[in-house]
Structure 1
Amino acid sequence: MFLTRFRLNTARVGARRLLGSPQSLHAAVMASFPERPDHRGDGPRVLWRVDQQARSEVLLYVVSPERPDLTHLVEQAGWPTATGGWQTKPYAPFLARLAADDTWAFRLTANPVHSIRRHDAEPTKRTAHITPRHQLDWLLKRQTDAGFAIVERPGPRPDGLEGPWHEVVVHHRAELAFRKRSESDDRAHSVTLTRVTYDGRLRVLDPDALRRTLTAGLGKAKAYGCGLMTLAPAE
């Protein structure tokens, strides 16, 4: 497994085009591999995420089973004459160090959805959670199976509600709408999804399960920049 970071040059038309279309950015990421990665089941897969640190600092993170070659992205959306167009590091040594009860800061961009239907005869429909509280509940329901627990703060909740207060912030909610071209009949159809980012602190419950989460992703819409969780030392 490899972890890659690439900074997009937002002054370039190519970068703005990619950032405006999850479908185009997905295609650009997948073009980083000579052979299209074969994803099966819940095993490791190509995951990507865009982080906007500041107005002019936009970073693309990619986790992948194979080492990528981002030359085309540098030419289209980076700084072609600069050295070190992207940074790729082996991910396995970091994953191997994860241990139960370790505490880490985390960032996750995800597509929090649930399935609903108005009556028993109606097929279920996938619907996005639209409030921060429901978006947080979506993550809390998945944390144990994903191998971690979000750290709980001591003391009363500042919002006055019942239940524990978790060390996590839900932000950067975005409604995405774009056109996706079908591989079977070459027709384009509309895709809409909600994408949100979670920043917080977690405690490792099950290192193996957390490794699967970090390499296979969490939730839906992984092809469109959702599902990638990264860890950093907790302060």
Structure 2
Amino acid sequence: MYLTRFRVNTARPGARRLLSSPQMVHAAVMSSFPDLLPTATGDADAPRVLWRLDQNARAEVFLYIVSPGRPDLTHLVEQGGWPAAATQETPGWQTQLYAPFLGRLAEGDTWAFRLTANPVHHIRRKEGEPTKRTAHITPVHQQKWLLERQERSGFRIIEKPQDKRLLPSGTTLKGHEHHGDRYELTVRDQRALSFTKSRDQGTSQRHPVNLVTVTFDGRLQVTDPEALRRTLTQGLGKAKAYGCGLMTLAPAAHAVAG
């Protein structure tokens, strides 16, 4: 497995076009692997290509990729990087082996994390109707979505000491439980994405795609290293083709950015 970081040159028109569409980013990412077909393997446990865009400032945007093979981002450098500055030693992106880091994960370790995800649930509006996948749109429910997945994903989000909590736990309208600021977890950058995609390759038939994405920042403790390795290499949640599901870790005392 490999972890790659590419800084996007937001001053370039090609970069701005790329950032305007998760489909374009997905296609560009998948084109970085000459031996990888752009179709799913069907094996839920197989490593897959994950990606995420982090916009730390208006002119500071990073693309992170986790992949089973080493990528070649030459086309991305030419479209949205600094091609004149690229050399054989510094081609315009950084790639490192991910396995050594993954192998060092141990139960009890504490890390800062970042995750962009598509928190959804399934609802039935009236009796007899099929369930429909629907986005969570409030921070309370988005946070709850992640908390419900932490145990099987190999980690637990760290709780704040009582004297550091500003808001009490309690209930919202309609009795939905919330946790105040019990956890070292923030939910930010909610985005509603809407675009169309082809139903099948090689056809002109298209259908709409609507997504709500959010970014989680926080601190976690490793509870199951093997499960966490699966989370880091296979992703968490839906819409992985559109920049969701990639969790990255950093030393807890530093910024959460890969």
Match of 1:203 among 221, 227, 231: 221
Matched, 1:167 2:170: no
Return the match for 1:138 from 145, 162, 167. Answer: 145
Structure 2: unaligned runs, 5 residues or longer: 171-178, 254-258
Per the normalisation by structure 1, the TM-score is: 0.96
CA–CA separation in structure 2 for the residues paired with 1:127 and 1:182: 20
Q: TM-score, normalised by structure 2?
A: 0.88
Partner AA of 1:216 in structure 2: Q
- Partner in structure 2 of residue 28 of structure 1: 28
SS for the counterpart of 2:226 is: helix
Q: Give the letter for the 1:17 counterpart.
A: R
**Residue 231 in structure 1 maps to residue 231 in structure 2:** no
Matched with 2:154 is 147
| Aligned residues of 1:180 and 1:189 also touching (Cα < 8 A) | yes
Which one-letter code corresponds to 1:41 in the other structure?
Answer: A
Count of residue pairs brought into register by the alignment: 235
- Give the counterpart of 1:49 among 35, 40, 52: 52
Partners of 1:200 and 1:105 lie apart in 2 by: 6
Deviation at residue 160 of structure 1 after TM alignment: 2.5
Q: Give the alignment partner of residue 67 of structure 2, picking from 53, 64, 69.
A: 64
Identity value in percent: 65
Compare 200-209 and 36-45 and name the one that shifted more. 36-45
- For structure 1, the 5+ residue unaligned runs are none
Q: Distance in 2 between matches of 1:203 and 1:160?
A: 23
Which string of whole-angstrom CA distances, capped at 9 and with x for unpartnered residues, describes residues 197-231 of structure 1?
A: 00000000000000000000000000000000000
Measured against aligned partners, the alpha-carbon deviations of 1:34-93 in whole angstroms (never above 9, x if no partner) come to 022553213210000000111101000000000000000001111111132100000000
Distance 1:11 1:51 in 2: 16
Q: CA deviation at 1:120?
A: 3.8
* 2:238 aligned partner: 220
Name the CA distance, whole Å, in 2 between partners of 1:183 and 1:67. 28
Q: Is the 8 A contact 2:28 2:76 kept in 1?
A: yes
**1:12 to partner: Cα distance:** 0.9
- Helix, strand or coil at the partner of 1:67: coil
In the alignment, does 2:10 pair up with 1:3? no
Q: Does the 8 Å contact 1:33/1:66 carry over to 2?
A: yes
Q: CA RMSD in A?
A: 1.3
Range that drifts further, 41-50 or 204-213: 41-50
AA of the residue aligned to 1:73: L
